[in-house]
């Protein structure tokens, strides 16, 4: 039983190399049976043996390098999946805390400070694993352009989210600097409209960014499971 399990394990891990060697040995045996070597010049025998050995070595080396690249790509995608999960948690927390019971001009300092705090939280978003995986060619090995596009959109959306929050924060900061004596009814209405516009814009960007990150997380999890046989938890659908 031990020998049987060992053989099964070896075949499951090195099946491509074993098949190449078996095919090569089969072809060589067939050729030797039907074409007697005694009737072939020595230099042709030497060339055939050398070429066959080099060719077989090249095939085996290619299979080993392909397996090594496959393993590296799987590890890179697993790191990206973890990073996406982290970013999804961060954006989800921002979404849950993006609430403003009152949006009047009198609440402007509070709203601006809260936007600033939420924007600072986005500094904890990470993209190192994505760029490392991209540079290593992990997405090329997966042969899934749709997955790469989805992941790329998700990470690009993180930058848009940070920019949107920062723009809104700075825009409201301008109103905070206006002396209260200069705020008449028309200015107050303008400030309240601006507050609502910025809150709606930020809220929409948060939802879009979270959706892209969750979609990319699910797709990477599917590739890890189907191509690399790595089972990971999936991001819940919202």
How high is the pLDDT of residue 238?
36
User: Could you tell me the pTM of the whole model?
Assistant: 0.71
Q: Domain containing 32: what range?
A: 2-66
Mean per-residue pLDDT over the chain, rounded: 77
Judged against a pLDDT cut of 50, whether residue 235 lies above it is answered with no
Count of domains for the chain: 2
C-beta separation of 91 from 209 below 8 A: yes
How many other β-carbons are positioned within 10 Å of the β-carbon of residue 140?
A: 13
Residue 186 tokens, joined = 């028309």
Q: Are residues 140 and 86 in the same domain?
A: yes
C-beta separation of 13 from 6 below 8 A: no
How high is the pLDDT of residue 139?
73
Judged against a pLDDT cut of 80, whether residue 191 lies above it is answered with yes
Q: Are residues 53 and 107 in the same domain?
A: no
Final residue of a structural domain among 66, 93, 116 = 66
Q: What DSSP string describes 110-153?
A: HHHHHHHHHHHHGGG---HHHHHHHHHTHHHHHT-HHHHHHHHH
Q: Are residues 56 and 78 in the same domain?
A: no
Q: Are residues 143 and 106 in the same domain?
A: yes
């Amino acid at each position: 039983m031990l020998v049987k399990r060992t053989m099964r394990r070896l075949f499951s891990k090195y099946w491509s190399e074993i098949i190449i060697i078996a095919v090569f040995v089969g072809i060589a045996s067939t050729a030797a049976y039907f074409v007697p070597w005694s009737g072939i010049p020595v230099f042709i025998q030497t060339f055939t043996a050398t070429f066959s050995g080099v060719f077989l070595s090249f095939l085996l080396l290619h299979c080993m390098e392909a397996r090594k690249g496959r393993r590296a790509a799987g590890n890179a995608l697993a790191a990206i999946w973890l990073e996406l999960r982290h970013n999804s948690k961060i954006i989800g927390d921002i979404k849950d805390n993006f609430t403003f019971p009152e949006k009047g001009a009198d609440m402007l300092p509070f709203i601006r400070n809260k936007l600033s705090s939420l924007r600072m939280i986005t500094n904890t978003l990470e993209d190192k694993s994505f760029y490392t995986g991209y540079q290593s060619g992990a997405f090329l090995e997966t042969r899934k352009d749709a997955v790469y596009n989805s992941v790329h959109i998700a990470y690009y959306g993180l930058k848009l989210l940070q920019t949107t929050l920062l723009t809104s924060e700075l825009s409201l900061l301008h109103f905070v600097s206006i002396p209260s004596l200069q705020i008449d009814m028309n200015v107050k209405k303008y400030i309240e409209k601006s507050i609502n516009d910025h809150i709606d814009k930020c809220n929409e960007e948060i939802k879009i960014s979270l959706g892209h990150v969750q979609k990319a997380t699910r797709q990477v999890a599917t590739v890890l499971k189907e191509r690399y046989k790595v089972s990971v938890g999936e991001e819940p659908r919202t």
